[in-house]
């Protein structure tokens, strides 16, 4: 079962990503849900950024939005 707080948090992250990088498509953003580490690759693909620059931007965005792999792993862990 999906926690509504997580759904709301994801919608906020998705909206902020769309604001910052308008070339990301809805499909791109859907693919990123639960896969924060793939953001840099999407930025490289859509904006033609060098790998280091794409990773820097993705890292800064994830930190600003508190969107990291640890939180995503918690989403996948069922409540006991």
- On the question of pLDDT at 77 being above 60, the answer is no
**Tokens coding 53:** 């620059």
The pLDDT, as a whole number, for residue 73 is 47
The pLDDT, as a whole number, for residue 76 is 54
Nearest alpha-carbon partner for 39 in 27, 52, 54, 49:
54
Phi-psi region of 67 (alpha: psi -120 to 50; beta: other; left: phi over 0): beta
pLDDT tens profile 20-45: 999 999 999 999 988 989 999 999 99
Nearest alpha-carbon partner for 32 in 23, 42, 22:
42
pLDDT tens profile 40-61: 999 999 999 999 999 999 999 9
User: Are the C-beta atoms of residues 38 and 80 closer than 8 Å to each other?
Assistant: no
User: Are the C-beta atoms of residues 39 and 61 closer than 8 Å to each other?
Assistant: yes
pTM: 0.74
């Amino acid at each position: 079962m999906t926690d509504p707080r997580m759904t709301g948090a994801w919608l906020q992250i998705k909206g902020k990503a769309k604001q910052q990088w308008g070339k990301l498509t809805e499909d791109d953003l859907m693919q990123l849900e639960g896969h924060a580490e793939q953001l840099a690759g999407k930025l490289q693909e859509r904006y033609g950024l060098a790998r280091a620059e794409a990773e820097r931007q993705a890292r800064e965005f994830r930190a600003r939005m508190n969107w990291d792999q640890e939180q995503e792993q918690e989403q996948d862990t069922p409540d006991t």
